[in-house]
Chains A and B, each alone.
Chain A
Amino acid sequence: MTQLALVIDLNVCVGCHACVTNCKEWNTSGIAGPLVDMNPYGADPTGTFFNRVQTYEAGEFPKTETLHFPKSCLHCEEPPCVPVCPTGASFKRAEDGIVLVDYDKCIGCKYCSWACPYGVREFDEQQKVMKKCTLCVDRIYDASLPEKERKPACVLACPTSARLFGDVHDPESEVSVAIRERGGYQLMPEWGSKPSNHYLPRRKTNIRIHEDELVRADNPLVKEGHLPKPALDEPSFDDVMF
């Protein structure tokens, strides 16, 4: 059974927010739209975004790590948001595992957002319905788009290609290979929600230099050596010995 998901490579994410606003511009005019903005030109503007990037620090100076962390609906295999929905608006699709909200059924009770351990549901304050990432369900099956563009908007936009998209149940898919080979992990697996989205951890590259790589026979300084050489007219033993 197919389970579509995102795999996000924290090793290359620079926190640029391309995925955040490209998601917004695609989805606000798509089937999940509009994505409202409250007070867009005033104090404390706040709007509906399906995808957000948070930046964290870890460690103390100078051993500080700065981590950019994009987060959207993780399309859990056991989504806690679904069983709590009193109207059946929140559901998981059998054919591809995408978790969706049917706005026509949603009554805006917010049970689902309380149940979601990851805080990725976004309430639309104008329409009073719950919204969230759809994995761009209106792009990925759209036969009018070129095949390589049938991907979520965030994946296409990402300048560092930090976002992979595919079927995590297909062991040969790009995403499964990345999870397997790169130590892909889930967020808070202890909740038992089995999130489908995975994250790839940071990796460090170091250089080790051996002593004998520094001091070598072909050191160019050798060529600059001037052995002391007396002037021709300086006295010598040879002049006075017989």
Chain B
Amino acid sequence: MEYKALQDPSDRIEVKNTTCYMCACRCGIRVTLKNGEVRYIQGNPDHPLNQGVICAKGSSGIMKQYSPARLTKPLLRKQGTERGDAQFEAISWDQAFGIMEERLGRIRAEDPKKFALFTGRDQMQALTGLFARQFGTPNYAAHGGFCSVNMAAGMVYTIGGSFWEFGGPDLDRAKLFVMIGTAEDHHSNPLKIALSKFKRNGGRFISVNPVRTGYSAIADEWVPIKPGTDGALLLAIIHELIAMGLYDREFLVNYTNAAELVNMDDASSEYGMFVRFEVPPEEGCFDAQNKLWWDRELDHPISTHTPGADPYLLGDFKLSDGTPVKPSFQLLKERVEEYTPEWAERITGIPAETIRRLAHEMGVTARDQKIELPIAWTDVWDNEHKTVTGNPVAFHAMRGLAAHSNGFHTIRALSILMSILGTIDRPGGFRHKAPFPRPIPPCAKTPKGPEGVQPNTVLGGMPLGWPADPDDLFVDEAGEPVRIDKAFSWEYPLSVHGLMHNVITNAWRGDPYPIDTLLIFMANMAWNSSMHTDDVRRMLNDKNENGDYKIPFIIVADAFQSEMTAFADLVLPDTTYLERYDVMSILDRPISEFDGPVDSVRIPVVPPLGECKPFQEVLIEMGSRLKLPAFVDKDGKRKYRDYPDFIVNYETEPGSGIGFLSGWRGTAGEKFMRGEPNPRQWEMYAKNDCVYHHELPKSYQYMRNWNQGYLEWARNVRLTRYAEPINIHIYSEVLQKFRLAAQGKSIGKQPPARLKKRIEKFCDPLPFYYEPLEAQLSDLQKYPLNAVTQRPMAMYHSWDSQNAWLRQIHAHNYLMVNPVVGKANGFEDGDWVWVESQWGKVRCMARFTEAVEPGTVWTWNAIGKASGAWGLTPDANESKKGFLLNHVISEELPPHADGEHISNSDPLTGQAAWYDVRVKVYKAADDEPQETSPQYKPMPKFPGMGVAKTIQAFFAGKGEWK
């Protein structure tokens, strides 16, 4: 036997670069092909995002590519069969396009909102959103509403940026890193790289989480917390920092609205608004610089940022006309007065002493370990700075904070904590990634009423936007929603990513109206992407008295035989990531680094399997057939040959020079960000590792909310419309405007009577803590435990049960419980148990763990699957031992004062409150079957699927795996 590399001169070895898509991280990968088969996928060492490393998922791409669960032909549900039976016949693409063209053409001519397009973690929202807008339907969103919109909205409405694609912790320079409620999928490789460097450099890592898994395992300190109480912890830390004077006064004064004076005259219609000294010269989506400070020296009000002025942050004052005013920091101080560490201990389960110590560690590290980088920069008020200062305390948070109905205010509290420590866009703290920072809130807006939706007309606004005040809501004259998911309505005014988790329920109920066609792209709504899955599956199959489906037509585009595809009338087989062109566009969520914008592409490394067609091509084809203006010329003729042609030549408006890709624009590729289409753009990306990275000069890399050079650069390349400062909203006037409307104190849109109290309560300009809504409406004696899910690092949501290697790591999941819960409820490690909420129950296996706080039970998300789905045999572990927690979670709250069908979501953002559910756990009877409940009739194999081998020995290059 030879121990050298297998080299046969006749082998055809090719090495190609593209971008991974085994999760949403988007690492650069290098794919080696042997005789046309995928031999090896490795991290691209020259890629800025992953710097050569790759994760378990990325390393298993081969098994995704060659999975027997691949769909290979367009499929039509057989006449006379029910949805969910998954009885299909293969049809041609011509037939599939014909069916869609006829149906969608009719809807567009009659009432475009009857077409709804919702997508999963698709990474092409710029295109899917463009298609929806061009079609004229408001009913479009991606998965953000059920993922982490609280994290986006809570932070963007406070600091003009957020975590993950939008920004992140600067662990290169941080000394203290606090990770709160972070699952292992957000962010993947970049966070792993940064975390290990941080640990090697001697940084201190604290993890706040009910569960100690993954990243938390290597934390220097684990602080277990009860789910949904993070807001109480953060507010208590703010309390302690203010009480001890451990805040960055200079940062608060200059870069936030902390010192700005708020009108405290409760008889005034301006109550709670900042006092302004003149009408701004120009109206736009930026904060006009016309507010007041109370100067300490002169002891009277003075225009903010007046040179030499030094305002009070605390105190109460009277203007010359007698108007009482307070700096907004004073209001914050008053707000957190009651939020003592002792108060928070009772809520969070974290000892008050620990909360104080955490606050002291943060405050003292930020103050005493300052970083001064020798980088000169100029702020927007023309002050020249010789250095960039950093307070090296960094945070990262994600769904653990977001997926609660109090998440928005929790995340506002986190953003405020990061701000009072003086860490925003500074070394060692939080740093933005282009296109952020954006104005608070960003400029994009939806239509403001039903008139924005007209037959055969482009939608009169963006399908998703950022409301700045009540008039930006997308509601009719009665104040009721225009969108099927009720986003941007008074029920969820800041639902900036939509509410995908309510679409099926609303459409089924016909509330606010019935729709005709639902197109779902790579979202598993009949399984792990829906709450109350069992109910949703019933709704998808439910009919009117006349025998017609309540949701008349369902199209699903996916690459695999998922649970959702079983409920489709028409299935469109998508390609894998290795088979298609794709862009990580600056118009969407690019992969920017702290030091400047980065976007990237996918370029096919292997040809599509069977008749698989990239969904991008489906949209270009449908846009052309339906003659949507962006896709045809003025004579109605198809404008773009295909997706690659569209990417190169599409401009947001004629001659704008803004397109999907920012690199190598201009006729010869000499421009970036803006420039004429470059016919050789793909070639240039291909030559450059499929990535374009524009590194900003050092002086533009920090303090970007207020950095004159950066803001002017951003305006000149049109990343932003204005070069105005983006001051941090410690105090949110945006929310106060909604509150004033609810109080009847403002002109303009008013909430319907039933929602006035809700708006008044939740639209609080300062963060506050409240118990998650479902807990308030649950019998906590009966259902005492919190139940949450965690994301394993080796499996992204439901994406890889069809993957022979990854499923060996997570073939089934357990309910993880602290042994004291087992003891109290009479079951042992490994027993079959029922986990039951007020909504339903699931049978599963329990596993004891000391790495969870005793009031919480948890499991890995989306490992359990329906029998026969994902190309697995009906007896696979995923369906017999694995379970889905979603069955016990509801998409709606119990009927209560706010309404009968209020979403189980954050009342501001509509973020799905996955982690609010309360459960009890008890032993299953000895005579019960030892398998997961509920069980479903096994899904059959679809026409065109591959053969699932019982023994598989993969070896690339022999011609067996094409």
A residues whose Cβ falls under 8 Å from a Cβ of B: 11-18, 20-22, 24-26, 28-31, 33-47, 49, 55, 57, 59-62, 64-68, 100, 102-105, 125-126, 134, 137-139, 141-142, 144, 148-149, 153, 156-162, 202, 204-207, 209, 213-215, 219-224, 226
Distance in angstroms from A39 CB to nearest chain B CB is 6
Contact B818–A61 (Cβ < 8 Å):
yes
Residues A12 and B196 in contact in the complex (CB < 8 Å), given A44-B811, A66-B212, A205-B204: yes
Query: Which of A38, A57, A100, A205 meets B849, CB within 8 Å?
Result: A57
A59 cross-chain contacts in B, Cβ below 8 A = 850
Given A29-B39, A40-B807, A220-B249, 14 more pairs with CB closer than 8 A: A11-B199, A12-B195, A14-B217, A18-B54, A28-B955, A64-B212, A102-B1, A159-B193, A161-B53, A161-B196, A205-B205, A207-B204, A209-B360, A221-B314
Contact A31–B4 (Cβ < 8 Å):
yes
Residues A14 and B361 in contact in the complex (CB < 8 Å), given A29-B955, A30-B5, A205-B203: no
Distance in angstroms from B782 CB to nearest chain A CB is 24
Distance in angstroms from A203 CB to nearest chain B CB is 8
B interface secondary structure, majority: loop
B187-206 to A contact mask, C-beta < 8 Å, 1/0 = 01100110110011011110
Contact B809–A17 (Cβ < 8 Å):
yes
Q: Which residue of B lies closest to A134 (CB)?
A: B3
A142 cross-chain contacts in B, Cβ below 8 A = 4-5
Contact B220–A61 (Cβ < 8 Å):
no
Query: Which of B6, B245, B296, B802 meets A221, CB within 8 Å?
Result: B245
Alpha-carbon separation in the docked complex, A161 to B133 (Å): 45
Distance in angstroms from A19 CB to nearest chain B CB is 8
Contact B218–A12 (Cβ < 8 Å):
yes
Alpha-carbon separation in the docked complex, A57 to B807 (Å): 23
Contact B6–A162 (Cβ < 8 Å):
no
B478 cross-chain contacts in A, Cβ below 8 A = none
Query: Which of B42, B313, B804, B851 meets A47, CB within 8 Å?
Result: B804
A-B contact pairs, 16 of them (CB 8 A): A15-B214, A25-B60, A26-B40, A29-B39, A30-B6, A40-B950, A42-B873, A46-B808, A59-B850, A60-B850, A61-B224, A66-B217, A156-B53, A207-B204, A209-B361, A214-B360
Residues A20 and B56 in contact in the complex (CB < 8 Å), given A62-B224, A206-B220: yes
Q: Which residue of B lies closest to A13 (CB)?
A: B218
Query: Which of A40, A41, A62, A221 meets B222, CB within 8 Å?
Result: A62
Scan residues 1-59 of chain B and give those whose CB is less than 8 A from a CB of chain A. Answer: 1-7, 34, 39-43, 45, 50, 52-59
Residue B244 at the A interface, CB < 8 A? yes
B312 cross-chain contacts in A, Cβ below 8 A = 223-224
B575-604 to A contact mask, C-beta < 8 Å, 1/0 = 000000000000000000000000000000
Residue B368 at the A interface, CB < 8 A? yes
Alpha-carbon separation in the docked complex, A105 to B59 (Å): 31
Distance in angstroms from A193 CB to nearest chain B CB is 22
Q: Which residue of A lies closest to B247 (CB)?
A: A220
Q: Which residue of A lies closest to B805 (CB)?
A: A21
Contact B4–A29 (Cβ < 8 Å):
no
B245 cross-chain contacts in A, Cβ below 8 A = 219-222
Contact B218–A158 (Cβ < 8 Å):
no
Distance in angstroms from A108 CB to nearest chain B CB is 15
B residues whose Cβ falls under 8 Å from a Cβ of A: 1-7, 34, 39-43, 45, 50, 52-60, 62, 68, 176, 184, 188-189, 192-193, 195-196, 199-200, 202-205, 212-218, 220, 222, 224, 244-247, 249, 296, 310, 312-315, 357, 360-361, 364-365, 368, 793-794, 802, 804-809, 811, 818, 849-854, 871-873, 875-877, 880, 948-957
Contact A138–B4 (Cβ < 8 Å):
yes
Residues A41 and B68 in contact in the complex (CB < 8 Å), given A31-B4, A61-B818, A66-B851: yes
Contact B204–A16 (Cβ < 8 Å):
no
A213 cross-chain contacts in B, Cβ below 8 A = 364, 368
Distance in angstroms from A228 CB to nearest chain B CB is 12
Q: Which residue of A lies closest to B213 (CB)?
A: A66
A33 cross-chain contacts in B, Cβ below 8 A = 953-955
Q: Which residue of B lies closest to A44 (CB)?
A: B877
Contact B873–A35 (Cβ < 8 Å):
no
Alpha-carbon separation in the docked complex, A46 to B161 (Å): 45
A21 cross-chain contacts in B, Cβ below 8 A = 56-57, 59-60, 794, 805-806, 809
Alpha-carbon separation in the docked complex, A157 to B1 (Å): 27
Contact B805–A47 (Cβ < 8 Å):
yes
Alpha-carbon separation in the docked complex, A242 to B41 (Å): 97
Alpha-carbon separation in the docked complex, A236 to B609 (Å): 95
B805 cross-chain contacts in A, Cβ below 8 A = 21, 24-25, 37, 47
Contact A224–B313 (Cβ < 8 Å):
yes
A24 cross-chain contacts in B, Cβ below 8 A = 59-60, 805
Alpha-carbon separation in the docked complex, A219 to B872 (Å): 64
A interface secondary structure, majority: loop
Residues A157 and B203 in contact in the complex (CB < 8 Å), given A13-B218, A21-B59: no
B953 cross-chain contacts in A, Cβ below 8 A = 28, 33-37, 126
Contact B954–A29 (Cβ < 8 Å):
yes
B220 cross-chain contacts in A, Cβ below 8 A = 204-206
Alpha-carbon separation in the docked complex, A231 to B216 (Å): 58
Contact B55–A159 (Cβ < 8 Å):
yes
Closest 3 A/B residue pairs (Cβ): A160-B196, A40-B804, A220-B249
Q: Which residue of A lies closest to B311 (CB)?
A: A223
Distance in angstroms from A27 CB to nearest chain B CB is 10
Q: Which residue of B lies closest to A127 (CB)?
A: B953
Query: Which of A15, A22, A36 meets B217, CB within 8 Å?
Result: A15
Contact B955–A37 (Cβ < 8 Å):
no
Contact B5–A139 (Cβ < 8 Å):
yes
Distance in angstroms from A191 CB to nearest chain B CB is 27
B361 cross-chain contacts in A, Cβ below 8 A = 207, 209
Distance in angstroms from B725 CB to nearest chain A CB is 22
B42 cross-chain contacts in A, Cβ below 8 A = 22, 153, 156-157
Distance in angstroms from A2 CB to nearest chain B CB is 15
A100 cross-chain contacts in B, Cβ below 8 A = 3
- Best-buried of B6, B41, B806, B850 by chain A (most CB within 10 Å): B850
A29 cross-chain contacts in B, Cβ below 8 A = 34, 39-40, 954-957
Distance in angstroms from A126 CB to nearest chain B CB is 6
Distance in angstroms from B35 CB to nearest chain A CB is 11
- Best-buried of A40, A62, A206 by chain B (most CB within 10 Å): A40
B794 cross-chain contacts in A, Cβ below 8 A = 16-17, 20-21
Alpha-carbon separation in the docked complex, A219 to B217 (Å): 36
Distance in angstroms from A14 CB to nearest chain B CB is 5
Alpha-carbon separation in the docked complex, A136 to B56 (Å): 18
Alpha-carbon separation in the docked complex, A128 to B117 (Å): 52
Residues A207 and B176 in contact in the complex (CB < 8 Å), given A64-B851, A67-B217: yes
Alpha-carbon separation in the docked complex, A103 to B200 (Å): 41
A47 cross-chain contacts in B, Cβ below 8 A = 804-805, 808
Residues A224 and B314 in contact in the complex (CB < 8 Å), given A42-B873, A61-B853: yes
Q: Which residue of B lies closest to A45 (CB)?
A: B808
Query: Which of A17, A22, A202 meets B218, CB within 8 Å?
Result: A202
A207 cross-chain contacts in B, Cβ below 8 A = 176, 204, 361, 364-365
A42 cross-chain contacts in B, Cβ below 8 A = 872-873, 875-876, 948, 950
B7 cross-chain contacts in A, Cβ below 8 A = 144
Alpha-carbon separation in the docked complex, A209 to B851 (Å): 28
Q: Which residue of B lies closest to A41 (CB)?
A: B948
Q: Which residue of A lies closest to B949 (CB)?
A: A40
Query: Which of A25, A46, A134 meets B59, CB within 8 Å?
Result: A25
- Best-buried of A31, A141, A215 by chain B (most CB within 10 Å): A31
Contact A40–B818 (Cβ < 8 Å):
no
Alpha-carbon separation in the docked complex, A193 to B778 (Å): 59
Contact A11–B218 (Cβ < 8 Å):
yes
Q: Which residue of B lies closest to A148 (CB)?
A: B45
Contact A38–B364 (Cβ < 8 Å):
no
Distance in angstroms from B283 CB to nearest chain A CB is 34
- Best-buried of A29, A34, A138 by chain B (most CB within 10 Å): A29
Contact A41–B804 (Cβ < 8 Å):
yes
Contact B56–A16 (Cβ < 8 Å):
yes
